Structure 1
């Protein structure tokens, strides 16, 4: 509740002292381990779960500060480490719009988490509250959840201890075990004053997705069966809940659903495994399910915010990956066609655009630009992709790893809702565009939502996996991790596609690229490790590998290793 105007300075000071004492008690229960440095990055905090309880306590403090600063807007907290191995865990905050934490607050999270003592934590907390002009008497609202990791309950306990120091001024909504995208959805829906986005709970999410999907499929169902690798993670729970709501329109066969088996999470399965290894998870390989003609499958990651599709080539029997680039191209082309069919007047014409990173396969970029779909390239990291996608009327972004979504601008939704259709075809296109805007989780990449998006587009096109795959052929590529004594000497510019420093290295890389047909390579310093990553692609596998070796040698020379 807001502070009373009649409260005396003495009473206010007493309340403040009680709060600081309460923080001190909690901090003493969760002291920061020595010789460990925590950094809040794009994915929040991530490390071994055993190191994280003090971080969770402090994240609890920061989440409440953020909500109070925003006059009681609901903030989300998700305890997950996504595609990381099971001993890891992590935590990230979600802002009221359902997007990731405001980047300016990442530094505050890092500062609080690295306070070495209780005294320094109280000092930093007080400084932050003052500097950020937080009225500590404001109410706060928090919604939080975790994935299926065994370390989750202990970390939630530490998080709740952080919330508890503020007493009854904090209203909590514990979603329990659920996916990261559902947590984002609930945060966005809770803060939506119009009530149009959806009911702010898991049931509301399932009902919204189900209704939109049924609208899009119409009388085209039931569709062909889909096999879903759930990475032995929380996506298995979410898929089971959702299919109970959806019914028989999409027959789903969940695989790798052992959420309580120790060590199973992300182990030789999941989206990251499939993308990195360019191969089927062994469990799916052994089951033989993809040996049947026209059978497709997909893999979620551990917290169900990434998805990749794949199938086996009918005649060659080879594994074929349909990754984030393939999803982005198919979806952008389809939505672009719908916009043309909608025949909106000149004043309300909508532009569909795609946002990629330098890691996107060159063939996908060429395919889009040759068909007049604009492409923006941004630095690696979802926050860069998301913000760039917001500049389009309908912005499609997917990282090659399968994390992505589609953003419909508010004015685009208004234009579609107020449009006067010129024909039954244009009315149908408008109806479908609006249904896609409901089906797609616009807060964040969402494996379940993106799975339905792909299935809906395939159903409308009348395609199987092989027809989808036939649009363009990925250029062979290679990604190499090169350890270096000091990554800071490598400075990337132009959306990480070129090196500004060391001086002269970029010219040498470009000379190497010219020696290979369709050669492209770039060097990107890691944000967390003393290494750089070399990406290379060319017309043949041998040429891509040779280009990667040549650029790796140039990097080693520039860092004094050769």
Structure 2
């Protein structure tokens, strides 16, 4: 049984400046760190560097809640797919998504202030600027939700956030060890006025499981009402047991608890199509994220190590891998010959978007009522982009790399926006026009036979916003969404994988003296400086296209982007052969070394052992 959160009331009035300053000064900024930087979703460093920032982020989260009139916000202590030695914090705004971009600079300023005097001055300035205090100088009610992963240092770091947030007068709701998506879910549901009417408000862990399980079961049940398919859908034997690689992290624990809900569904007769869930790679089975988990599987394109488990043969035909905080998921299997096959975020985006559009067209054949689309980054495989455009016939937008950019683009461009980065982080966002469409369809189809195809499509679409985590990528809910779609289509992973073949690709990195000499366009598909670099890269791509005789299919491409954390440049190349991708990446690295101040000897040609 999942534990209820602990609630810590804040001080009736914030601590006097002297006491708050003492708390801040007890955890000074580490001398070996020049400054804290804010990544895609927050701060992430080796754990011993973080106490200073975490004390200040407790103050920051309380202040952010005050700036929203007391709406509830969150902080998740995790370093996601990083090694055990690292930790970090992901911040959740009141809508459940990531912190508003305009507030990132305030978080960075507080984290990097030299001492308590400057922290308090920044705090007062910011409070006055956003009008968070009453005339008597008091803050409105403030609420901060806290969650943490399984790292040994996550609990003491969380305690620092709790102490400083309470010192500000905030109430802290401590959810203990949870996945990152759960923490975002709790925050979104705590501010219930932001939820669409079709999503029940559930603010705790048990409620989260209930929503995912019940909406998943409701989606599966629609497969038993289509006339002419043998009385309903059937699960293929190869998809009867779903093995979950938990990356030796929090996801394994939570999926194992979720299995109890499955047992209840079975007891209640909701057994149509339910797979058996088998969880491997728990905390303690092996090192966190080492040789297992979504990051390892997707980057290495090889199966995970099954610590303490002899999974083989048939039990490896239907496998998913989570990352350390369970906001990424990829699927994979080994065929009869033992060959490994990966279905990454690109494949998930294709599966999910095609399913949604098929169901929408059953109600709206013209496809004009709701604008659907997929947001990808430059790292998306070119074959997936072509398939989305030419076969699924959906809109595709390329956004800057990073989940906060693709999430914003999905909101901005589409009424139903699907995004999955290749690493498996993604979700589906449903906008106001979608809910209006569902309401209109319900009125129009009321009284029609239950097995009418448009009626079935309506029931499927109506349940999706509850099944899919609307705030952030969620390995557990995404896993259940994919499983339901495969069941409804009567597919296994091999059928799904056969939709299209990925272009071979190569990723590499080269050190430079100063990464700022390279700039790119908004979606990072082309370099804007140095000018000579993009000209040379384009010439290399054109030459590879001629060499490979790439006329009708995806064209070879290559892009480069400066690293966000070190003086290095990241290279991505893809072509119709692995040799071509390696060659293109090698040429890009040589160009960067020559034109952008490469460090050390010129790079050697890249060679991949895979065909």
Q: TM-score, normalised by structure 2?
A: 0.85
* 1:519 and 2:556 correspond: yes
Contact kept? 1:46, 1:88, Cα under 8 Å: yes
RMSD of aligned residue pairs (Cα, Å): 1.9
Q: Which residue of 2 aligns with 1:382?
A: 403
Deviations for 1:414-471, whole angstroms, at most 9, x for unmatched residues? 3213311276210110110111221100100000000001101100110000000000
1:39-89, Cα deviation, whole Å (9 max, x unpaired): 122131100111111111100000000001111000011000000000100
Structure 2 counterpart of 1:307: 329
What residue in structure 2 maps to residue 361 of structure 1? Answer: 381
2:293 pairs with 252, 270, 274, which one?
Answer: 270
Q: State which of 132, 146, 149 in structure 1 corresponds to 2:148.
A: 146
Partner of 1:542 in structure 2?
A: 579
Q: Is the 8 A contact 1:221 1:250 kept in 2?
A: no
Counterpart for residue 256 of structure 1: 281
CA distance in 2: counterparts of 1:67 and 1:166, whole angstroms: 11
Does the CA contact (< 8 Å) of 1:19 and 1:166 recur in 2? no
- Give the stretch that moved more between structures: 68-77 or 120-129: 120-129
How far is the alpha carbon of 1:312 from its aligned partner? Answer: 1.2
Residue 330 in structure 1 maps to residue 367 in structure 2: no
Q: Higher mean Cα deviation, 464-473 or 211-220?
A: 211-220
Deviates more, 1:279-288 or 1:510-519: 279-288
Instruction: Determine if the alignment matches structure 1 residue 245 to structure 2 residue 261.
Output: yes
State the match for 2:487 in structure 1.
Answer: 459
Contact 1:378/1:385 (8 A) holds in 2: yes
Q: Deviations over 1:533-561 (max 9, x none)?
A: 11000001111111111111111111244
Contact kept in structure 1, 2:62 and 2:142, CA below 8 Å: yes
Residue number in structure 1 paired with 2:61:
63
Q: Which residue of 2 aligns with 1:292?
A: 314
Structure 1 position 294, deviation (Å): 8.1
Paired position in structure 1 for 2:370: 350
Q: What is the CA-CA distance between 1:369 and the residue it aligns to?
A: 0.6
2:608 maps to none
Q: 1:34 touches 1:116 (CA, 8 Å); kept in 2?
A: no
Partner of 1:8: none
Return closer, same or farther for 1:417/1:552 CA change in 2, 3 Å cut-off.
same
Distance change (3 Å), C-alpha of 1:35 and 1:116: farther
> Secondary structure, in 3 states, of the residue corresponding to 2:306?
helix
Shift of 1:194: 7.1
Paired residue secondary structure (2:52)? helix
C-alpha distance 413-460 of structure 1, shift in aligned 2 (>3 A): same
Could you say which residue in structure 1 is the equivalent of 2:102?
A: 104
Alpha-carbon distance change, 344 to 560 in structure 1, aligned in 2, over 3 angstroms: closer
Question: 1:150-549 counterparts in 2 under 5 A?
Answer: 150-167=152-169, 170-193=170-193, 196=197, 197=199, 198-218=201-221, 219=224, 220=233, 224-247=240-263, 248=266, 249-257=274-282, 259-260=283-284, 264-283=287-306, 287-289=310-312, 291-292=313-314, 295-314=317-336, 316-343=337-364, 349-371=369-391, 372-390=393-411, 391-419=413-441, 420-421=444-445, 424-516=452-544, 517=548, 518-549=555-586
Distance between the aligned counterparts of 1:193 and 1:513, measured in 2? Answer: 51
Aligned counterparts of 1:204 and 1:543: Cα–Cα separation in 2: 50
Say whether the 8 Å CA contact 1:54–1:158 is kept in structure 2: no
Choose from 64, 72, 79 the match for 1:74.
72
**Contact (CA 8 Å) 1:26, 1:165: kept in 2 or not?**
no
Q: 1:126 to 1:56 in 2, by over 3 A?
A: same
TM-score (norm 1): 0.93
TM-superposed deviation, 1:293:
8.2
Distance verdict in 2 for CA 1:178–1:293, change over 3 Å: closer
